[in-house]
A and B are shown apart, each in its own frame.
Chain A
Amino acid sequence: MEALFFNSHGGYLEGIVRGFKAGLITQTQYNNLTQCESLDDFRMQLSATDYGNFLANETPPISTSTIAEKATQKLVDEFNYIKSNSVQPLTKFLDYMTYAYMIDNVVLLISGTLHERDTHDLLERCHPLGTFDTMPALCVATNVEELYSTVLVETPLAPYFRDCLSAQDLDELNIEIIRNTLYKAYLEDFHSFVLSLGAPTSDVMSPILSFEADRRALNITINSFGTSLSKDQRAKLFPSLGRLYPEGAFALAKADDVDQVKVVLDGVVEYRGFLEGQTGPGGAGAAGAEGATGQQAASLEDHFFQYEVGLNKLAFLQQFQYGVFYSFFKLKEQEIRSLTWIAECIAQNAKDRINDYIPTF
């Protein structure tokens, strides 16, 4: 059924996105980029790609942050174009995509407001995809009650806030917990929405979202070793979906060191290799394990990125579904990250690590 009428409302946009996808930087282009000697070369190489002359108006000493900023701007433009041309339920789907950025922005503003920072400065730092009309008003509120009743109730994030926050927690430590609780609620909500969309979309999106949930759960577990986050609190931050849920999540909540996390991961074939070489010397205590995680951290994150890219690539194999939109923007984000990484490596003259980017196509 879905496929029969898909093209009447989403066909054009799907075509556009698949066109955009063809513009993603290819492996050969990445190879060329890694050969660059300076950022000027880098810009030259990029101008041959879909990015065109996006850096043309920059004055010569280009910083890597400018490159990232401009590339993000391009992503936002593409997103906005698609969104403005979309109809329901694609619009809703795209809205859901922006919620993740919204959460980041809201958390940023909350923490900024609590410390009485300059609001304009804060608004500039917000991710452009996550902006919403009432966002500047967030800066007025001084506590959670007020924040919720005046501003957030108007935003799509309201249900997440309602679920997770009691008014008393908004101190230093809790900012990150708020962020992760919100994100958990968001993931669960998005997932249920995706399921409601039915077959092809949910087939594609479910693995992606599950992976995202698992990734967060794993990261939270590993990063909370040695911090003041208690195991109960930790367990509350795990999204209730994903391949690790529920037994894996339960075990993760109990884990004390990387080895135990590894045992949990052994249950899932795809994740098994992620923590390879992550363990400290056999039988080491928490301190030893911590030292080991510091060294191997990059590889875990790299594994995550690699797997995410793989999942997103799979989304393009199916037609007549919305997963391509999500995947395209995730891939694009990854591409921006890779570009920034390469640019950073060139700028800092660290050629030995330059190949650590994650190529998309």
Chain B
Amino acid sequence: MSGAGPRENVFPTRMNLTTTKTRLKGAQTGHSLLKKKSDALNKRFRTILGKIDEAKRKMGRVMQLAAFSLAEVTYATGDISYQIQESITEATFRVQTKQENVSGVILPTFEPLMSKAEGGNGGFGLTGLGRGGQQITKCRETFAKAVETLVELASLQTAFVILDEVIKMTNRRVNALEHVVIPRLENTISYINSELDEMDREEFFRLKKVQSKKKRDTAVRDAEAKEKRDAAEAAGIEEEEEHEEQEQGENLLAEKDEDVIF
């Protein structure tokens, strides 16, 4: 694990190890949070999907009804489109936008707004007064309903698109964290750990080596000294004993000097 996979380009120091560990922790927290968000969004997405399906079916029905009521009007009154166009001064059907917050995503929702201006007949004036006024009113109501459905569908569709986008983005982030950032940080940590271990082992080995070298040196020196002592004993002159001891003392001093450096 240590060598495999990408890792960050850092020096394997203890400080870097701590920083990387903190970052890993952060990444993990972020990952779980994003995962939760993505789940919440997905849930919402699915409900919207269901609603859209329903609204679309409803729209089909309502539009058919509306078109048919227009046919009724044409049957009863003839072509009224021009009169209607002329007598309209302002829109009676308006759309209001509101914002809805779904786990940090701002979704615009549209709300139909009927203004009951001009004598409750929505600015149609007295169109169809002579004949077919009731059909016209009915037709207007049906179409108002149809437009309402359309508005509803529009806000659902918008939410759908936006949610889709956001879900994709969140999933991308989650995946990036899960499959790129977190493994890399883990790799870095294990790399630093292994490097540090390696360094520890090197140090340990060096110490051992020095120790063993020192041991050897002392052993050699002891052997030399013993040899000399043996030689002196072999000479066996008691008078010279003192002199020899002095020499040895001098030698020891000289050697110690070298040791001190180490």
Q: Contacting chain B: which of A34-42, A44-52, A248-256, A295-303?
A: A295-303
Interface membership of B132, Cβ < 8 A: yes
Chain B residues within 8 Å of A340, by CB: 74-75
Nearest-Cβ distance from residue A327 to partner chain B, whole angstroms: 19
Interface residue? B11 (CB, 8 A): no
Main secondary structure of the interface of A (DSSP, over half): helix
Query: In the bound complex, how far is the Cα of B129 from the Cα of A227, in angstroms?
Result: 10
A228-B64 in contact (CB<8A) = no
Judging by beta carbons under 8 Å apart, are A219 and B131 in contact? yes
1/0 contact trace for A208-237 toward B, CB 8 Å?
A: 000000011001101110111100000001
B134 touches A177 (CB 8 A): no
- Which residues 101-131 in B have Cβ within 8 Å of A in the complex? 118-121, 125-131
CA A117 – CA B86 in complex, angstroms?
9
Cβ of B141 < 8 Å from any Cβ of A?
Answer: yes
A111 B71 Cβ-Cβ under 8 A:
no
A341 and B71 CA atoms in complex are apart in Å by 7
> Which of A125, A177, A223, A348 has most B Cβ within 10 Å?
A223
Chain A residue at minimum C-beta to C-beta distance from B121: A227
B83 at the A interface (CB under 8 A): yes
Instruction: Chain B residues near A177: list those with CB within 8 A.
Output: 126, 129
* Most chain A CB within a 10 A radius of its CB, from B71, B128, B134: B134
Q: Is B120 a contact of A176 with CB atoms below 8 Å?
A: no
Check B68 for interface membership: any CB of A closer than 8 A.
yes
User: Do A176 and B129 have beta carbons less than 8 Å apart?
Assistant: yes
A350 within 8 Å of B (CB atoms):
yes
CB neighbours (8 Å) of A344 from chain B are 68, 71, 74-75
The yes or no answer to A330 lying at the interface (CB within 8 A) is: no
CB < 8 Å neighbour of A300 from B79, B128, B134: B134
**A180 to B129, Cβ gap below 8 A?**
yes
Enumerate chain A residues within 8 angstroms of B132, measured Cβ to Cβ.
219, 301
Q: Mark A168-186, 1 if CB is under 8 A from B, else 0.
A: 0000110111011001000
Q: Of A68, A298, A300, A340, which is in contact with the most chain B CB atoms at under 10 Å from its CB?
A: A298
The answer to whether B68 touches A353, judged by C-beta atoms less than 8 angstroms apart, is: yes
Chain A interface residue count, Cβ-Cβ cutoff 8 angstroms: 46
Q: What's the Cα separation between A341 and B119 when bound, in Å?
A: 31
What distance in Å separates the Cβ of B73 from its nearest Cβ neighbour in chain A? 10
Contacts of B133 in A (CB 8 A): 219, 222-223
Which of B67, B82, B121, B135 is within 8 Å of A298, CB to CB? B135
Given the known interface contacts A223-B128, A227-B119, the answer about A293 and B134 at a Cβ–Cβ threshold of 8 Å is yes
Choose from A68, A111, A219 the contact partner of B129 (Cβ within 8 Å).
Answer: A219
List which B178-206 residues lie within 8 A (CB) of chain A: none
CB distance from B135 to the nearest CB of A (A): 6
Whether A301 contacts B68 in the complex (CB less than 8 A), given A173-B126, A176-B126, A219-B129, comes out as: no
Instruction: Give complex CA distance A68, B67 in Å.
Output: 17
Measured between beta carbons, the chain A residues less than 8 angstroms from B128 are 223
Contact A301 B130 (CB under 8 A): no
Is there an interface contact between B68 and A223, defined as CB atoms closer than 8 Å? no
Q: A125 contacts B82, CB within 8 Å?
A: yes
| Residues of the B chain whose Cβ atoms lie less than 8 Å from the Cβ of A122 | 82
Bound-state Cα–Cα, A122 to B82, Å: 9
Quick check: A226 and B120 within 8 Å, CB to CB? yes
- A210–B136 Cα gap in the complex (Å)? 25
Chain A residues lying within 8 Å of B82, measured Cβ to Cβ, are 108, 111-112, 122, 125
Contacting pair A180 B130 (CB below 8 A): yes
Contact A301:B135 (CB < 8 A) given known A220-B130, A223-B126, A348-B68:
yes
A224–B129 contact, CB under 8 A? Answer: yes
A294 interface residue (CB < 8 Å to B): yes
* CB < 8 Å neighbour of B83 from A64, A111, A215: A111
Interface set of B (CB-CB < 8 Å, partner A) = 64, 67-68, 71-72, 74-76, 79, 82-83, 86-87, 89, 118-121, 125-135, 137-138, 141
- A interface, CB within 8 angstroms of B: 64, 68, 108, 111-112, 114-115, 117, 122, 125, 172-173, 175-177, 179-180, 183, 215-216, 219-220, 222-224, 226-229, 237, 293-294, 297-298, 300-301, 304, 337, 340-341, 344-345, 348-350, 353
7 A-B pairs whose Cβ atoms sit less than 8 Å apart in the complex: A64-B71, A223-B134, A229-B129, A237-B129, A294-B137, A340-B75, A345-B71
- Nearest 9 Cβ contacts at the A-B interface: A297-B134, A223-B133, A176-B126, A228-B119, A344-B71, A111-B86, A227-B119, A176-B129, A301-B76
